[in-house]
Amino acid sequence: MEAIRSVVNTLSSPTIFFSLSVIVFIAMFTFRKWVEPRYAALIVAGAVIFFAASMFDSDFRLIVTKPDNVPIAGMLFLVGFFSWVGLKQAFENDGRIAQGLGPAEKDETEQKVLVWPDLVYSEFICLIILSVVLLAWAILLQAPTEEPANLTRSPNPSKAPWYFLGLQEMLVYFDPWLAGVVFPSLIILGLMAIPYIDVNSKGNGYYTFRERRWEILIFMFGFIVLWILLVIQGTFLRGPNWNFFGPYERWDIHKLLPLSNVNLSEFIYVKWLPNLGYKGGLPKFWLWREIWGMLLVIAYFMLPPPILARTAFRRFFEKMGFIRYNVMVFLLLFMIALPIKMYLRWAFNLKYIVAINEFFFNI
Whole-number pLDDT of residue 192 = 87
- Report the C-alpha gap between 220 and 214 in whole angstroms: 10
319-347 mean pLDDT? 91
Q: Which residues make beta-bridge pairs with 262?
A: 350
What was the pLDDT predicted at 65? 86
Per residue in 12-60, pLDDT (tens digit) is: 888 999 999 999 999 988 888 888 989 999 999 999 998 888 889 888 9
pLDDT at residue 84, rounded to an integer: 92
**pLDDT digits 0-9 by tens, 284-323:** 899 999 999 999 999 999 999 999 999 989 988 988 889 9
Q: What integer pLDDT is reported at residue 105 of this predicted model?
A: 77
User: What is the rounded distance in angstroms from the CA atom of residue 343 to the CA atom of residue 349?
Assistant: 9
Max distance between CA atoms of the chain, in angstroms, equals: 83
Q: pLDDT band at residue 109, thresholds of 50, 70 and 90?
A: low
Q: Which residues does 184 contact at the CB level (< 8 Å), separation at least 6?
A: 167
343 φψ region: left (φ > 0), alpha (ψ -120 to 50), beta (else): alpha
Range with lowest mean pLDDT among 146-160, 220-234, 305-319: 146-160
pLDDT over 80 (residue 111): no
% of the chain with per-residue pLDDT over 90: 34
Q: What is the mean pLDDT of the chain?
A: 88
Residue pLDDT, tens place only, 249-269: 888 888 777 667 889 999 999
Question: Residue 75 pLDDT > 80, yes or no?
Answer: yes
pTM over 0.85: yes
Residue-level pLDDT at 339: 93
Cα 350 to Cα 150, 181, 266, distances in angstroms: 34, 22, 10
Task: Give the rounded percent of residues in the chain with a pLDDT score beyond 70.
Answer: 98
